[in-house]
C-alpha cells in the first residue's frame, strides 16, 4: 500500500515550457487535490476533484489545468510555465462522504521555473 505517490520529485523548467505533474493513490479514495506550498503562504488549493469525472477550481487555479484520469489518478498540467509557479506541489486524497475529511498527502514535487 503506497498511499499517495507523485512524480517527478524535482523538476526545472524554462519559462514557457509545459509539463504535467502526476499523482496516483491506491486507497480507493473519491476525492483528490492539488496544492502549492510557498514560504509564509501555507498550502493553497489549486484544483480538486470531489469524485471521478469532476474537477473544480480552488483558490489559485490560474495557469494550471487538471485531469481526473480515473479514480486513482489526478494530474496537474502547466501549459506555459512562469517563474511565479516556482513552488512545491502536493497532491492529496481523501475518502470523502463523511464528517471527518482526513487528507493524505504525497511527498511533493519541487518545481523551479527559470
Q: Which residues bind other proteins (CB under 8 A)?
A: 4, 31, 33, 35, 40-45, 48, 50, 58, 90, 92, 94, 96-97, 99-108
Nearer to other proteins, 17 or 55 (CB): 55
What gap in Å lies between CA 113 and CA 37, rounded to an integer?
A: 15
CB of 42 to other proteins, least distance (A): 4
CB of 103 to other proteins, least distance (A): 6
C-alpha cell at 5: 505517490
CB of 75 to other proteins, least distance (A): 17
Cα of 58 vs its chain's centroid, Å: 11
- The answer to whether residues 103 and 93 touch, using CB atoms and an 8 Å cutoff, is yes
Nearer to other proteins, 19 or 45 (CB): 45
- Residue 113: strand pairing partners: 13
Nearer to other proteins, 5 or 17 (CB): 5
Nearer to other proteins, 13 or 48 (CB): 48
What gap in Å lies between CA 45 and CA 87, rounded to an integer?
A: 13
C-alpha cell at 90: 502536493
CB of 25 to other proteins, least distance (A): 12
- The answer to whether residues 34 and 74 touch, using CB atoms and an 8 Å cutoff, is yes
Amino acid at each position: 500500500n503506497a498511499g499517495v505517490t507523485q512524480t517527478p520529485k524535482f523538476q526545472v523548467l524554462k519559462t514557457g515550457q509545459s509539463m504535467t505533474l502526476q499523482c496516483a493513490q491506491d486507497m480507493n479514495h473519491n476525492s483528490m487535490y492539488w496544492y502549492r506550498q510557498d514560504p509564509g503562504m501555507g498550502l493553497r488549493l489549486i484544483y480538486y476533484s470531489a469524485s471521478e469525472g469532476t474537477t473544480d477550481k480552488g483558490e489559485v487555479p490560474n495557469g494550471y489545468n487538471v485531469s481526473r484520469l480515473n479514480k486513482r489518478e489526478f494530474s496537474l498540467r502547466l501549459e506555459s510555465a512562469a517563474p511565479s509557479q516556482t513552488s512545491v506541489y502536493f497532491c492529496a486524497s481523501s475518502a470523502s462522504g463523511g464528517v471527518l475529511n482526513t487528507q493524505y498527502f504525497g511527498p511533493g514535487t519541487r518545481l523551479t521555473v527559470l
